């Protein structure tokens, strides 16, 4: 399948004036009015990149920002489910694809290959060139309009998809990458390789988040370190980059992701809430310095 073959998957596309207000007047196309681009990365799968991408976007939205999420995890597009957007249709206008809006106020927009597949169980069985072409099309052909932040959720690893994403975004001067790890030494080692990738590609590192950092009992509030603890903070010290915080294992956060609910809005008293809002605050402070 080539990129052009996506027309067969987009038979429901609606041409209209939906993005007439999105027309770019600058030379850098559909990302012209995106102020800050942040990549969420980790050399390892299963550390919670998609969950962190979603929650950072929600926290920034509740801080009054307009946020887009670009899901370039082509083989595991989970963000549509986390934002209760499964089954939504992608439309098209003169500027390209219109992202899916996940709230009535249109403050969070999302693009994912999950919207282009016939069914949720369809697999993307592609070699590198086809994946790279799809990533380039996502970056160049989605009419994001005016955004304060574009969060890019990446797959695990440091190979083709990451190189394509960083190269395609380089002209737009991304703010940098948020690295996600879990406390174990195995995960920290993989993230260390991702830091090397960023150094080699010239991508700044905003900071490191240690996810699944202890389990806070919902009944007694005692924190149990199911895994080891402190690996993310030690890695940040080793690499000389900011440590953004620890996010504990929180059943309410898992429930929200499964059901596509707004965790930040619904569970302000949960164990993970202060950690996630603190991470968003640090990102906002960093963004204010890069304007």
pLDDT tens digits, the chain, 291 residues: what are they?
A: 334 444 444 333 333 334 433 443 345 689 999 999 999 999 888 899 999 999 999 999 999 999 999 999 988 899 999 999 998 988 888 888 999 999 888 999 999 999 988 777 777 777 888 989 999 999 999 999 999 999 999 988 888 889 999 999 999 999 999 999 998 888 888 899 999 999 999 999 999 999 998 887 777 777 788 777 788 999 999 999 999 999 999 989 989 999 999 999 999 998 899 999 999 999 999 999 876
Residue 118 has φ and ψ, to the nearest 5°, of -65, -35
Q: Known binder of ligand: residue 50?
A: yes
**Is residue 45 annotated as involved in ligand binding?**
yes
Residues 75 and 111: beta-carbon distance below 8 Å: no
User: Is residue 196 situated within a structural domain?
Assistant: yes
In a domain, 10, yes or no: no
Q: Is 258 a member of any domain?
A: yes
Given a contact cutoff of 8 angstroms between Cβ atoms, the answer to whether 70 and 161 are in contact is no
Range of the domain at 247: 28-290
Is 88 among the annotated ligand-binding positions? no
Q: How far apart (Å, rounded) are the C-alpha atoms in residues 277 and 58?
A: 9
| Residue 6 forms part of a structural domain | no
Q: Is 189 annotated as a binding residue?
A: no
Does 64 fall in a domain?
A: yes
Q: CB 245: neighbour CB atoms within 10 A? A: 21
**Residue 177 CA from chain centroid, whole number:** 10
209: which DSSP letter? E
Among 122, 173, 172, 177, residue whose Cα is nearest residue 151: 177
Q: What is residue 240's DSSP assignment?
A: T
Strands 100-101, 91-93: pairing is: unpaired
Give whole-number Cα distances, 249 to 42, 52, 185, in Å: 18, 12, 18
Q: Tell me if residue 100 falls in helix, strand or coil.
A: strand
Residue 17 annotated as part of some ligand binding site: no
**Looking at the domain assignment, is residue 153 inside a domain?**
yes
Is 198 marked as a binding-site residue?
no
Q: Residue 22 falls within a domain, yes or no?
A: no
Structure tokens at 268: 């302000």
114 has binding-site annotation = no
205 annotated as belonging to a binding site for a ligand: no
Distance from the first to the final alpha carbon of the chain: 41
Q: Record the tokens describing residue 279, joined without a space.
A: 């991470």
CATH of the domain at 43: 3.40.50.300
Does the reported pTM lie above 0.85?
Answer: yes
Please tell me whether 49 is known to bind a ligand: yes
Q: Is 278 assigned a ligand-binding role in the annotation?
A: no
CB 66 within 8 A of CB 179: no
Q: Quick check: is 142 in a domain?
A: yes
Place of tokens 């890069």: 290
pLDDT at 224: 82
- Local structure of 176: helix, strand or coil: strand
- Between vectors from CA 112 to CA 111 and to CA 118, what angle results, nearest 5°? 125
Q: Token pair of 2, please?
A: 């080539």
The CA distance from 195 to 259, in Å, is 33
Return the biggest CA–CA distance within the chain.
56
* Helix H or strand E segment including 53: helix 49-62
Total number of domains in the chain = 1
Structure tokens at 184: 């174990």
Q: Which one, of 202, 289, 214, lies nearest residue 245 by Cα?
A: 214
Which tokens hold the place of 30? Answer: 């559909």
């Amino acid at each position: 399948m080539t990129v052009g073959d996506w027309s067969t998957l987009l038979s429901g596309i609606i041409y209209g004036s939906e993005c007439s207000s999105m027309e770019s007047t600058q030379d850098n196309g559909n990302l012209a009015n995106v102020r800050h681009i942040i990549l969420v990365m980790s050399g390892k799968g299963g550390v919670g990149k998609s969950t962190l991408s979603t929650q950072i976007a929600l926290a920034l939205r509740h801080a009054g920002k307009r946020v887009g999420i670009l899901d370039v995890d082509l083989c595991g597009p989970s963000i549509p489910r986390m934002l209760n957007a499964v089954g939504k249709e992608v439309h098209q206008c003169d500027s390209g694809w219109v992202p899916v809006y996940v709230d009535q106020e249109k403050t969070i927009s999302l693009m994912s290959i999950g919207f282009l597949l016939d069914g949720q169980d369809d697999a993307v069985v592609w070699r590198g060139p086809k994946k790279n072409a799809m990533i380039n099309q996502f970056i160049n052909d989605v009419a994001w309009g005016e955004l304060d932040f574009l969060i890019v959720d990446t797959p695990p690893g440091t190979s083709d998809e990451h190189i394509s994403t960083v190269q395609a975004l380089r002209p737009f001067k991304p703010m940098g990458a948020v690295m996600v790890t879990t406390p174990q030494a195995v995960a920290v080692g993989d993230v260390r390789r991702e830091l090397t990738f960023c150094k080699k590609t010239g991508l700044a590192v905003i900071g490191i988040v240690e996810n699944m950092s202890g389990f806070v009992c919902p009944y007694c509030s005692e924190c149990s370190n199911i895994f080891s603890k402190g690996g993310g903070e030690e890695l940040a010290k080793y690499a000389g980059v900011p440590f953004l915080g620890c996010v504990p294992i929180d059943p309410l956060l898992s429930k929200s992701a499964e059901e596509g609910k707004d965790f930040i809005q619904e569970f302000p008293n949960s164990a993970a809430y202060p950690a996630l809002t603190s991470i968003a605050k640090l990102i906002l402070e960093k963004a204010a310095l890069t304007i």
